[in-house]
A and B are shown apart, each in its own frame.
Chain A
Amino acid sequence: MKHAAPEGGIGARLPRLEDPRLLVGGGCFVDDLQVPGMLHLDILRSPHAHARIGAIDASAARALPGVAAVYTGAELAQFLRALPSAGGLQGFSAPEHHALAIERVRFVGEGVAAVLASDRYLARDACEAIRVDYEPLPAVTDPEAALAVCAPVLHEALHGNRAFELRIGNDTAEALAGAERVVRGRFVNQRIVPNTMETRGALAHFEPWQERLTVWLSTQAPHLMRRELARLLDFPEHRLRVVAPDVGGAFGAKNNPYAEELLAAALSLRHRVPVKWIEERQEHMLATSHARAQTVEVSAGVRADGTLCALHYRLVADMGAYYHAITHVGPMMTAALMTGAYRIAHAATDIVAVFTNTTPTDPYRGFGRAEAAYFVERTMDLVARELGLDPLELRRRNLIGRGEFPFATPTGHVHESGDFGLCLERALARLDYEGARREQARLRTVGRYLGIGLATHVWRAGFPSVPGGKGYVVSGWERSTVSLDPSGTARAVIGTSPHGQGIVTTTAQIVAEALGIRPQDVRVIHGDTDALAHGNGTMGSRSLVVGGSATWLAARQLREQATRLAAHLLRLPADRLVLRDGGFADREDPAKRITLAAVAAHAQAGPRDLPAGMASSLEATALFEQPNFVTCFGTHVCVVEVEPQTGEVRILRYIAVDDAGRAVNPTVVEGQLHGGLAQGIGQALLEEAVYDTAGQPLAASFLEYATPRAGDLPRFEVELTETPSSVNPLGARGIGEAGTVGAPPAVVNAVLDALAPLGVRHLDMPLTPQKVWRAIREARA
């Protein structure tokens, strides 16, 4: 059976269906919700990076009229389990992490006491009225320093601050020894703050008369949170409902079952009142996961012909003071993808994961893979410079070729399919690379510093399940239910939980494509665990490749059902039917026709006249899991000018060519790239969560932490290629993280290319004016 694609189906540049409501202020976020009688939770946080907690005197706080309760960590631990800590980590011990600190605080911002009061202002006043005796201890914030023998130890139950050590890869010693040349470098991928526009928040409402707990959460994974809350609260999962209303960004930082959300739910159960907690911006900067925080020492072995024969990293990964849900996974992903887009036969990473007196780290857009791309792309530029080769030429000599897929890397990853050179050549053509190099040479003669930076980045999306994990484990499958209403409109209930990705629109397009209807006639329901029994959530660029594929499979099944029923009603063989314009018609006699709505209405009416075995409603559910990660790739080219007088960097052009596999909606794909590029450029030039040596955060507000704004960004030149993936039925590739993966190396390579004539070899992000100015001054001296 064939059908003509409806307007707005797969591939259409449909304006986002989400936008009209959001743009006119019709969004509804957790803080917009009110339940009569709700109390407000506030957390008293540690001002110390490391201290022993002595006596806590909350009597003055408890005496304030309107304060319902005050809890300390020790009081809480009597009825609340510890937080999940490095879920699924095998063979290594994890420190105990409680919702509120017990006996010791280990980072500035760690919760020490919780207050429940009738309003937020009073709750904060009560926090201020709590007296805590702290005995400050020496703190350590630098992960290398934390490894020293004499460093203050965070978790005395563990051995030193070494969280775990792991080697991923094959043997590199021999290949490095045999290399023509070994290029060495040290690169820092700095600690940054996710800074979602909407901070975290929760509203928990226990209704005793029906023994039901509803938790509205600013989360990206409601089903995951339902499971975790049920486990942590010892509350029956089938009586727990988690709802993600509109969510203003998550970027990986809203996957973790945090203390505050758990406390809101626990205290709602205990006090039998609704409890709301809304994070303030400063709390977000202290208590929501930080990200990146990896440093590598690189050894790259090069042959005489400019090909790489070996790559070794010693990777120091800063876990922060505790593990969040999957903190430990970041460096493992970095190791798995360390060879990037290149054919390098010997590669290994020795991971050293370290605890420090800082906010715990966890995913952020590009988790592990952005670090990998940055390290290998910086390595390529460094190698090119030491060999006196154009960085483009070096990349061409080492890039995995179109005919080499599937390609197994020495670090245990298999690139399922790809065409890395395609994006590279398209980006070069758009720039006119040779012309840009000539212009650069000309301007250098008049004292102007132009730089051209390349990133031929590779990453991966849509993780498969990892069997055998304990505690917090994320599964790789996703689930969708698609059904047809008797009037002919459709609904899709999905297990992913979009919050900015445009998945409502693309899901509607996928269903529209399968059923031959308009996307506007498809309602996409998500973010409510009562609407779909099981799901996983939105993370790791999986919503389209995994979730969208589940939707596609369910919609296809639904179409098969509808076709069978239409054939039955028209008394025709199914293969004679064509689905177009909202109905089925006989290919040979188009006058013989039945609308989709009539088919659906018939199914709804009852089982009297249905084909054998068909149920009386048109509905299909499908589960999909990729057998392997989908390989994602692109080439970014950045052209900058450095102002040598002040050290300021200006981006003149930014070209991003990324492969979407199959762009269900090119406008949505481009939007995803724009957002990611903003964040990637932010990391390259602006952002850094800095601590002083005593563990005090120096950039815990927007007055000190530079997050990118429109004025900091160039006009993006975005192009898409479409090389179908082999691991999902849509042929789609992840795109959500392409910007944060590609931009940091492209920008940093460009700036260092600009500074090359001065002899500046490397600078670590962020490339602030002061840092660039100082490097220029020192190079000239």
Chain B
Amino acid sequence: MIPSAFNYVAPRSLEEALACLGRCEPGTAALLAGGMSLVPALKLRFARPATLVDIGRIAALRGIEANAGGIHIGALVTHAELLGAPQLADRPVFAETARVIADPQVRNRGTLGGSLAYAHPAADWPAVFLALGGEAELFGPRGARAVAAEDFFTGIFGTAIGADEILTGVRFAHVPVNAGSAYSKMRQQASGMALVGVAAQLVLDAAGAIRAASVGVTGVNAVPFRARSLEARLQGSASDPAALSAACALGITEADPLGDRHASADYRLHLLGVHAGRALARALARARGSAGDGADYND
């Protein structure tokens, strides 16, 4: 790795980290968490920050915590930790997603917060974050604030995080009764990122019909999105696999697929339908309590 020269600081607290950011010219500092995206960019000199603020030693950014409002996952929690966290045992979608991210080395270093803050258009967590309706917790000179998942991604590699703010964690509400969620992905064969990634959550009513559906999509558009058109179609519908496939077959109008060497726009659109169907079918099975252990993914 032959990056261009940079200053390196490793604050021990959030306040110290904010002070470090405050001392830098806006846009010249980069926050280093697991480094799984930033370090390759530094290595190729695509990223040339004047200052690298290593937040890896800030204890407050670690840990998974269940509380009255739901669950809080610290920004520095790694993919590997999400793969085996007991606090997430009732949310198998986390392990299912973590398991299809890159390889064990990357999973041991890469973080949930880093993935969301970097906002790569083919990262996996944004889909889950959207489908589960999470909130991003930000901390800055003006204090703490929360941003809903759907308002978080603002453009390609763009988020609602201010230049002087730090993403400290994400929050998810309690799992609703009769709910199930799942993630289904097709990997780009070289990078392992999502050619298409779909996270889905279904909530059933007492009669077994779909009370609410939420679908998050990554890898397709320049910015990850909620598939509202599909969700609307699903709401109130019967909860059988045939109905789910039929709903997917009608398409997702929000999709504005990118085309590249690995997947042209038409192939991506086709894969979106396939993986939406797979994610929904698995979410349904989990909502019905028949496959809640997350053991049956085939990605």
Which residues of A approach B to under 8 Å, CB–CB? 120-121, 124-125, 128, 280, 282, 645-646, 648, 686, 690, 698-699, 701-707, 709, 712, 768-770, 773-774
Contacts and interface: CB of A to CB of B under 8 A. Distances in A.
A704 B2 contact: no
Contacts of B263: 770
Given A120-B2, A124-B2, A768 B189 contact: yes
Contact of B274 (A646, A704, A712): A646
B290 to A, nearest CB: 23
Interface in B246-294: 261-264, 267, 270-271, 274
Given A121-B5, A124-B2, A690-B261, A705 B103 contact: no
A690 to B, nearest CB: 7
A698 B261 contact: yes
Contacts of B271: 646
B2 A770 contact: no
Given A646-B271, A773-B270, A774-B267, 16 more contacts: A128-B45, A646-B186, A646-B274, A698-B261, A699-B190, A699-B261, A702-B191, A703-B40, A703-B190, A705-B190, A706-B190, A768-B262, A769-B186, A769-B189, A770-B262, A770-B267
B47 interface: no
Contact of B2 (A280, A645, A701): A280
A712 B103 CA distance: 12
A707 B270 CA distance: 25
B37 to A, nearest CB: 11
A121 B4 CA distance: 7
Q: Which of B2, B44, B45, B261 has the most CB of A within 10 A?
A: B2
B89 to A, nearest CB: 25
Interface string B174-200: 000000000000100111000000000
Chain A contact surface mostly = loop
Contacts of B270: 773
Contacts of B191: 702-704
A701 B270 CA distance: 27
A645 B103 contact: no
Contact of A686 (B44, B186, B189, B261): B189
Nearest to A711: B103
Contacts of A709: 103
Contacts of B262: 768, 770
Contacts of B40: 703
Contacts of A124: 2, 4, 45
Contacts of A282: 44
B274 A706 contact: no
Chain B contact surface mostly = loop
Nearest to B262: A770
A645 B270 CA distance: 9
5 contacts: A703-B40, A769-B186, A769-B189, A770-B264, A770-B267
A224 to B, nearest CB: 30
Contacts of B5: 121, 125
B186 A704 contact: no
A702 B267 CA distance: 22
A769 B299 CA distance: 14
5 nearest A-B residue pairs (beta carbon): A706-B190, A706-B189, A703-B191, A124-B2, A770-B267
A702 B190 contact: yes
A338 B49 CA distance: 55
A645 B276 CA distance: 13
A125 B267 contact: no
Contacts of B103: 709
A649 to B, nearest CB: 11
A705 B189 CA distance: 8
B267 A704 contact: no
A530 B284 CA distance: 70
A686 B189 CA distance: 7
Contacts of A648: 186
Nearest to A648: B186
Nearest to B4: A125
Nearest to A127: B2
Contact of A645 (B4, B45, B189, B274): B274
Nearest to B270: A773
B258 to A, nearest CB: 14
Contacts of A703: 40, 190-191
A122 to B, nearest CB: 9
A125 B48 CA distance: 12
Contacts of A706: 189-190
